Amino acid sequence: MLGLIVLIIFVVIAALGIKIIPQSRAYVVERLGAYHRTVQTGLHYVFPFIDRVANNVSLKEIVKDFAPQPVITKDNVTMQIDTVVYFQITDSKLYTYGIENPVNAIENLTATTLRNIIGELELDETLTSRDVINTKMRAILDEATDPWGVKVNRVEVKNILPPKDIQDSMEKQMRAERERREAILKAEGEKKAAILIAEGEKESAILRAEAKKEAQIKEAEGEAQAIIKIQQATAEGLKLLKDAKMDEAVLKLKSYEAMVNVANGNATKIIVPSELQNLATFGTTLKETISEKNNK
């Protein structure tokens, strides 16, 4: 009976030494108080009372959002800045024995590094140089945490909170800058509109001038053609008269008939050329002579 009890106790104690380590975990095992080994994923056995698990370490990337820290810029402006650090444990032994409370050490190191970097920058540089701050902090923290078995992958400045009066001044400045840009855009728009209007008026004036010029040219061409037609008709008329062999008396008679036709109009006074008067006298004398001959 006693032997059975001893056997059961031995089995239970032996079973306590069986360790199943999940993925992305590591156990730091001590033997008789000294570091013995680091075991990772799988089934392992740790001798009870002789070995013990000193630390259960996560090998995943760890994210720590540290509380805002008061920092002073180069131009003596106090701000509140909080950071986020992404790190991963690469050496479980160093992480366990390198420093007491590694996470707290990383937080304090982050705060002091941030103060040193911001102390070299002025307010405007701090607000516009987040990438520079992140890069410098990551390089410094990564180098400083190597002895602790920690790899710092990334550091991000989460928030930068200037004093209230500085925030008000910045808002006024931004508002003034927006108004200035708006005024510039409005002025540029008005300038472009005025240019377009002037160009439109210029093109319109040019088109009107060209249209007027073309109209005058057409009118002159029409008058020239009319004059040519009249001259051609006159020339043809003279040619016909010449071909008909009309003497000067006939021509003068035709002129007289034309004057008679003019008299039939609305004219109240007609000036008869002397030649036509002589022709009329000659006609009258000729008529009287013919009448006398007939009477005899």
Please report, for the chain, the start and end positions of each structural domain, with discontinuous segments joined by +. 2-58, 61-162, 248-295
Q: Which pLDDT tens digit goes with each residue over 54-72?
A: 889 999 999 999 888 888 8
What distance lies between CA 113 and its chain's CA centroid? 40
The whole-model pTM stands at: 0.56
Q: Which pLDDT tens digit goes with each residue over 83-139?
A: 999 999 999 999 999 888 899 999 999 999 999 999 888 888 888 888 899 999 999
The three-class DSSP label of residue 64 is strand
For the domain covering 61-162, report its CATH number: 3.30.479.30
- Can you spell out the DSSP letters for 187-202? HHHHHHHHHHHHHHHH
- Looking at residue 286, its pLDDT comes to 47
Backbone φ and ψ of 131, nearest 5°: -65, -40
